[in-house]
Amino acid sequence: MMPRAIVLLVCGFPLLAGCRERTPAVATKEVGMSEPKVRKTEKEWQVCLTKEQYAVLRGKGTEAAFTGAFYNNHEPGTYFCAACGAKLFGSATKFDSGTGWPSFSAPAVKANVVAHEDLSAGRRRTEVVCGSCGSHLGHVFEDGPAPTGLRYCINSVSLKFKKGG
């Protein structure tokens, strides 16, 4: 039987947060924090997600800019994790960043959007994952509007939207 930490790493759950010189002021998963609340095997995720959702949410992929369902959505409502349904962002914090992906200045529930260092793609970025299930949502950057100065750049395929205030 493999030690629990190895099993979790193999399954792709983010456990450790890296350090940056200027880490955005967002919830960061640190060593010792609780594991994701929603736990499924990768086979279970493959069954409940579309191929595109699985590639982004579990495989840390990125949808093409200006192709997602929500980058140009201006309806009032709430955005939830497409994998587990956790509440992530409200439309009041959504703004047009011109990047082609839905952009938000702050999460609706800070604990549901967890950030950690991402060194993939040959550069240093801050990835954001669902705090409930550990699925990849996108990245956060320090070029957003006041008052937070943050831009959560999120894949539409990572989101479900519910209309209403």
Find the CATH number of the domain harbouring 98. Answer: 2.170.150.20
Q: Which residues contact 90 (CB under 8 A, 6 or more apart)?
A: 77, 78, 79, 108
Is residue 7 situated within a structural domain? no
Note down pLDDT in tens along the chain; length 165 residues: 434 333 333 333 332 222 233 334 444 444 334 456 888 999 999 999 999 999 999 999 999 999 999 999 999 999 999 999 999 999 999 999 999 999 999 999 999 999 999 998 788 999 999 999 999 999 999 999 999 999 999 999 999 999 986
C-alpha 152/C-alpha 150 separation (Å) is 6
- Ordered strands of the 125-130 beta sheet: 94-95, 103-104, 151-154, 136-141, 125-130, 113-118
Is residue 16 situated within a structural domain? no
| pLDDT at residue 4, rounded to an integer | 37
Is residue 8 situated within a structural domain? no
Is residue 93 situated within a structural domain? yes
Is residue 135 situated within a structural domain? yes
Is residue 11 situated within a structural domain? no
The residue range of the domain holding 64 is 40-163
| pLDDT at residue 121, rounded to an integer | 78
C-alpha 56/C-alpha 132 separation (Å) is 16
- List the beta bridge partners of residue 78: 90, 162
Q: Phi and psi (nearest 5°) for 95?
A: -145, 160
Is residue 26 situated within a structural domain? no
Write down the residue that tokens 């699985």 correspond to. Answer: 54
Known catalytic residue: 153? yes
Q: Point out the catalytic residue in the list 81, 84, 130, 153.
A: 153
Number of structural domains the chain divides into: 1
In the DSSP assignment, the letter for residue 36 is: P
DSSP string, 103-129: EESS-SSGGGEEEEEE-GGGS-EEEEE
Is residue 71 situated within a structural domain? yes
